[in-house]
Amino acid sequence: MPAETSSPAYTPIPLPDYQEKPLDQMRADAQAFYDEIRTRHTIRDFSDRPVPRDIIETCLKAAGTAPSGANHQPWHFSVIGDASMKRKIRLAAEEEERAFYAGRAGDEWIKALAPLGTDDSKPFLEIAPWLICIFGERKSRSTDGEMRKNYYVPESVSIATGFLLAALHRAGLATLTHTPNPMSFLSEICGRPAHDKPYILLVTGYPAPDATIPQHATLKRDLADIATFY
């Protein structure tokens, strides 16, 4: 029986789109998705080969279907293909990264990063065709134009980012989640309001022909280590 509510704002409609699958098909589809998504790898060697904008737009629309607190959809994607803006972002990011690797991070964090081979040089920020700055909106306008507070912003943005990563991978593109610390320079460069918080700088495009990944990145924890069934 459908859930009941006394709120006059609640208007239930029949569940759209859902189609139940036979168990064998469910298992096959679950396995197929796992087999596909496990081939996604974070890379830092990108090609400058162009990627059509409409592909990025479709992937962003997929991200926009993610669940969110009160369905406020508290995210904004600033999508940058302009070379001069990418240059500004690279210079600002590398300035923060130099401070990070020079001592801000601390010895333990630097030691943890060592197997990944990262440093303060971020040429991919200019080479890759698209940078997607993912912002969380602490408040945003509703469909009727009213400014309202948003809820569960970090959780909602994280889910949408996961959708976006999966969509870009499904489209055949490589990705990198870059998180310079702090990231406030992204708000200024992208012209976002003060109530927007930058969470991730997502780099996407084709991998370079000689792209590599660190062997360390292929080590994934077993199911028994990441899940408990009760």
Degrees to nearest 5, angle at CA 183 with 131 and 156 = 75
CB count, 10 Å around CB of 140?
A: 20
Per residue in 70-116, pLDDT (tens digit) is 999 999 999 999 999 999 999 999 999 999 999 999 999 999 999 99
Residue 65 has pLDDT above 80, yes or no: yes
- At 2 the pLDDT is 55
Q: What is the mean pLDDT of residues 25-51?
A: 98
- At 164 the pLDDT is 98
Specify the pTM: 0.94
Both tokens of 194, joined, read: 């003060």
CATH numbers and ranges of domains, the chain: 47-209 (3.40.109.10)
